[in-house]
């Protein structure tokens, strides 16, 4: 199993599948089709049934039941796209067998080093086989590790008919990283009573809570005038935008919060003298606090609009909500995953997600969908890595969930 996982993962990450914000189509980038079509061929080759890919790049397939009794149809979901936050083409994975626990020089030319002092979680994977970047791209374990694990688990179950299981549905989505992975997910076609996203991080993660989320696009209109003749005429949108940023709560940002603490995050910006745009994301686990945060943000924009005589405007839209509300009534689906981990010697880490997954959206589309670890760490950047052994355990969790459900 381990060798198959390694080879499959390396194939997947070498295909650039970066999605893109602000594109009014799904998938947002045509290059996602390249990996999607390869996966469809692979699913057919290993022997899954009902393999389909629709016009929006959603892949679905079925592992038929091999038992006579009726068992709930369950699903497993992962996404094929990678984040637009960091370079994703020409991924050149590096493999470190029997990781020694110290520093790893990812790129000697640019002196890029993966250091335990900066990423203490490396201590948890000492002795493992690590897969890292070469320091110039992200790796893509988010979420090609999850895709790899689901395909590998289906392949294993097909090869081991002695393991009894019910019908299992799988789906791979595009555009999760730009918040649109569930937009066109056909829940009725999927036909599962519940599902699990394989989109978590470190070993043992089991999550059924996530942020309530919104994004806010703030526009600032300046007035460009030649600087030599600008007195009492120029309105510098750069300066107005900087003033707004300084007046947001400086302690309520991702780098200064943890656990259930919410935040405002300036995700990106572009600015000239004439105009500026600030893209914020607003997050909180508590629904009431989330509403308060959005209200505060609107008030700030209105305040600055008065201060600068109509220069500010904002568009705020909700993205997804805390799945806890939809999962708590069916907690047996969390307990099923919890039991599978314990039987494999894995200590479950039940904690809130400081982000969101397709599962949060799907849970509000009547497909309850907790999230399970996939093994990747330091997502969306050059220091991303994954443990092969953790990926193998995630694959075994999928198999064990299917096996245990058939025994109920």
pLDDT band at residue 326, thresholds of 50, 70 and 90? very high
Whether domain 2-209+322-407 has CATH 3.50.50.60: the reply is no
CATH class of 212-320: alpha beta
**Is residue 30 packed enough to be buried (19+ CB in 10 Å), middle (13-18) or exposed (0-12)?**
exposed
Torsion of CA 287, 292, 297, 299, to 10 degrees: 150
Q: Quick check: is 81 catalytic?
A: yes
Can 2-209+322-407 and 212-320 be said to share one CATH topology? no
Q: Residue 165 and residue 399: Cα distance in Å, rounded?
A: 9
Report pLDDT digits (tens) over 42-90.
Answer: 999 999 999 999 999 999 999 999 999 999 999 999 999 999 999 999 9
What's the pLDDT at 357?
72
What's the pLDDT at 21?
86
Q: Residue 342 and residue 338: Cα distance in Å, rounded?
A: 6
Per annotation, catalytic residue among 81, 177, 284, 358: 81
What's the pLDDT at 354?
87
Check: CB of residue 204 under 8 Å from CB of residue 390. no
Query: Vertex 42, ends 171 and 29: CA angle to 5°?
Result: 60
Report pLDDT digits (tens) over 339-388.
Answer: 999 999 999 999 888 877 789 999 999 999 999 999 999 999 999 999 99
What's the pLDDT at 105?
97
Of the candidates 87, 126, 93, which has an alpha carbon nearest to the alpha carbon of residue 107?
A: 93
Could you tell me which residues are beta bridge partners of residue 173? 79
Q: Residue 363 and residue 352: Cα distance in Å, rounded?
A: 15
Report pLDDT digits (tens) over 5-35.
Answer: 999 999 999 999 999 988 999 999 999 999 9
Q: Residue 13 and residue 142: Cα distance in Å, rounded?
A: 10
pLDDT band at residue 398, thresholds of 50, 70 and 90? very high
Q: Residue 158 and residue 162: Cα distance in Å, rounded?
A: 10
Task: Render 342-390 in DSSP notation, one character per residue.
Answer: HHTT---EE--BSS--HHHHHHTTT----EEE--EESTTSTT-EEEHHH
Q: What is the mean pLDDT of residues 224-241?
A: 97
Q: How is residue 123 annotated by DSSP?
A: G
Q: Is the pLDDT of residue 319 over 90?
A: no
Q: Is the pLDDT of residue 218 over 80?
A: yes
Report pLDDT digits (tens) over 118-134.
Answer: 999 999 999 999 999 99
Q: Which residues contact 372 (CB under 8 A, 6 or more apart)?
A: 196, 197, 198, 199, 200, 205, 206, 207, 337, 394, 397
The sheet with strand 275-284 has its strands ordered as 263-271, 275-284, 212-221, 312-320
Q: Quick check: is 176 catalytic?
A: yes
Q: Residue 185 and residue 353: Cα distance in Å, rounded?
A: 22
User: What residue segments make up the domains of the chain, in order of their start?
Assistant: 2-209+322-407, 212-320
Per annotation, catalytic residue among 143, 176, 209, 384: 176
């Amino acid at each position: 199993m381990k060798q198959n996982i390694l080879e499959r993962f390396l194939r997947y990450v070498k295909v650039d599948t970066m999605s893109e914000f602000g594109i009014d189509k799904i998938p947002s980038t045509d290059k996602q089709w390249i990996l999607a079509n390869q996966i469809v061929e692979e699913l057919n080759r290993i022997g899954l049934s009902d393999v389909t890919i629709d016009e929006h790049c959603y892949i679905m397939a079925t592992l038929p039941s091999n038992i006579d009794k009726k068992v709930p149809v369950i699903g497993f979901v992962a996404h094929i796209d990678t984040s637009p936050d960091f370079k994703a083409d020409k991924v050149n994975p590096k493999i470190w067998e029997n990781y020694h626990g110290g520093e790893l020089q990812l790129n000697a030319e640019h002196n890029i080093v993966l250091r335990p002092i900066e990423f203490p979680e490396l201590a948890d994977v000492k002795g493992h086989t690590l897969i890292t970047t070469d320091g110039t791209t992200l790796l893509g374990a988010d979420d090609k590790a999850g895709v790899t694990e689901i395909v590998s688990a289906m392949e294993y179950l097909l090869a081991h008919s002695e393991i009894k299981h019910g019908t299992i549905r799988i789906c791979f989505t595009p555009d999760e990283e730009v918040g649109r992975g569930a937009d066109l997910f056909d829940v009725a076609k999927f036909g599962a009573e519940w599902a699990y996203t394989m989109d978590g991080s470190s070993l043992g993660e089991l999550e059924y809570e996530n942020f309530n989320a919104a994004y806010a696009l703030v526009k600032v209109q300046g007035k460009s005038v030649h600087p030599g003749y600008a007195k009492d005429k120029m309105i510098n949108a750069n300066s107005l935008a900087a003033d707004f940023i300084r007046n947001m709560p400086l302690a309520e940002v991702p780098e200064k919060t943890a656990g259930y603490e919410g935040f405002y995050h300036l995700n990106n910006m572009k600015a000239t003298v004439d105009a500026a745009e600030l893209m914020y994301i607003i997050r909180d686990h508590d629904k009431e606090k989330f509403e308060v945060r959005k209200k505060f943000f609107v008030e700030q924009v209105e305040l600055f609009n008065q201060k600068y005589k109509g220069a500010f405007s904002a568009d705020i839209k909700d993205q997804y909500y805390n799945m806890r509300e939809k999962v708590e009534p069916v907690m047996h689906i969390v307990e099923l995953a919890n039991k599978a981990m314990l039987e494999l010697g894995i200590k479950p880490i039940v904690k809130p997600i400081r982000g969101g997954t397709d599962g949060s959206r799907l849970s509000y589309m009547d497909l309850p969908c907790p999230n399970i670890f996939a093994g990747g760490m330091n997502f969306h950047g050059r220091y991303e890595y994954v443990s092969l052994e953790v990926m193998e355990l995630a694959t075994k969790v999928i198999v064990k969930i299917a096996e245990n459900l058939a025994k109920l």
